[in-house]
Amino acid sequence: MARTAAPGTRERILDVAGALFYTEGVRAVGMSRIIGEVGCGKNLLYAHFPSKTDLVAAYLGRFRERRDRAEAQALREAGDDPGERLVALVAEIAGRLRRPDFRGCPFRNLLTEFPAGDELPERMAREYLAQTCELVGRLAGATGVPDPEGLADRIWLIIDGLYASGFRERAAEVAPDMVREAIAAARDPRAPAV
Amino acid sequence: MARTAAPGTRERILDVAGALFYTEGVRAVGMSRIIGEVGCGKNLLYAHFPSKTDLVAAYLGRFRERRDRAEAQALREAGDDPGERLVALVAEIAGRLRRPDFRGCPFRNLLTEFPAGDELPERMAREYLAQTCELVGRLAGATGVPDPEGLADRIWLIIDGLYASGFRERAAEVAPDMVREAIAAARDPRAPAV
DNA sequence: GTCTATAAGGGGATAGAC
DNA sequence: GTCTATCCCCTTATAGAC
């Protein structure tokens, strides 16, 4: 609105709000808390984000943009082999586990906080999960294994486990190997059977 | 407090509160809502549970009792082989996924809602996760594979994935196989490498 | 005109009292 | 059971500072 509004204000608000939402939860962080930590007036925040829902949606949107960029880069560097692309996808996610500020997947976390909600943030979260799940399915299909559905289920389970694992960050080390093994087993269905 | 309190009142409160907490989230459900759905007076509820924290702790406690019983039974039926016991443990968890009212792990969900909390419910949740993780480690160690730590990490990742997967319930079908494969691969470390 | 500071509205939370 | 106390939530409105 402002003709010469202070640049970067919106980003600064999103920085603070995003960090709080992610580490403490959306429900746990009130608008007053954000205003206090940003150090701005209440009006300024509501000028940029008319409601808390808008602010949460912007928080998820920014998370998604960064996620998509990192994912695209990982897939680009992995080359053309669908199996290697699956490994790279999981390895990229596993890399996030090692960051000290990692606290799971913001989309899954939001749906845990608002399981019945159907506003923009919840829809964004469900859309993200559906699209990522679909990507896994496409990559699994491209490997040419006899049972691509089963392979996709396994990879998705590993990804879910990575995001849920607040306890063992060593999961980051085994996850890519598990993907390789799942692909190998899918290519040679006779082998397993303990 | 009543001399001859109606029997089952406490259980009825826990039934209602537990279902609401589990399906809608602890933060999303207020005491007034619970009182309304139970149909009792406010005094009666606060007589049994002096605070919401107590009620949440009781909700988790009952969940844990049932979990422990089901887990013990699954392990009993699995026999003595540590590998089979790991498979049975995961299969028992996978079975929960198929229930229509499944909405993840109540302990993990609580920690997502209260990541920084340190009251009784949060401690109960962390204790449950730590003990289950420890059980997996013991069973993995008992298999006698060269790298029990790595095996335990894999199994724990699968369990985490099962609880997080709100999307693909087909995960329930592949998870036990993944456990078998992980054990087989751990017993013969040369095989994998796609 | 841009932003801050403060107050207040309307609702619902937990909890206590009678 | 109802009624009240206290608090915090999101949001809007008002008033003042630069």
Return all residues near B46 (Cβ < 8 A) that are at least 6 apart: none
The domain segmentation of chain A, as residue ranges, is: 1-50, 61-187
Residues B20 and A188: their CA atoms lie apart, in Å, by 46
Percentage of residues in chain B having pLDDT higher than 70? 92
> Could you report the per-residue pLDDT of B35-51, keeping only the tens digit for each?
999 988 899 999 999 99
- Cα dist. B74→A152, A170, A190, B173, B175 in Å? 28, 27, 28, 17, 16
Q: Straight-line distance from CA A36 to C1' D15, in Å? A: 20
Cβ-based contacts of B91 with chain A (< 8 Å) = none
Q: Straight-line distance from CA A42 to C1' D14, in Å? A: 13
Closest Cβ opposite residue A111 in set B166, B175, B177: B166
CATH second-level architecture of B61-187? Orthogonal Bundle (1.10)
Helix axes A52-78, A120-142, angle to 10 degrees: 10
- Which among B166, B153, B115 is positioned nearest to A104, based on CA atoms? B115
CA B92 to chain A, closest CA, distance in angstroms equals: 16
Arithmetic mean of pLDDT, B12-23: 96
Question: Contact at 8 Å (CB) between A108 and B164?
Answer: yes
Question: Contact at 8 Å (CB) between A162 and A93?
Answer: yes
What is the CATH number that goes with domain B1-50? 1.10.10.60
> Could you report the per-residue pLDDT of A8-18, keeping only the tens digit for each?
899 999 999 99
Q: What's the CA angle centered on A32, arms A29 and A36, to 5 degrees?
A: 100
Residue B151 class from Cβ within 10 Å (0-12 exposed, 13-18 middle, 19+ buried)?
buried
Q: Straight-line distance from CA A157 to C1' C11, in Å? A: 42
The confidence score (pLDDT) of residue B80 equals 96
Protein-contacted bases of chain C (C-beta within 7 A): 1-7, 12-18
The answer to whether residue A3 scores a pLDDT higher than 60 is no
Residues B135 and B177: their CA atoms lie apart, in Å, by 20
The confidence score (pLDDT) of residue B40 equals 87
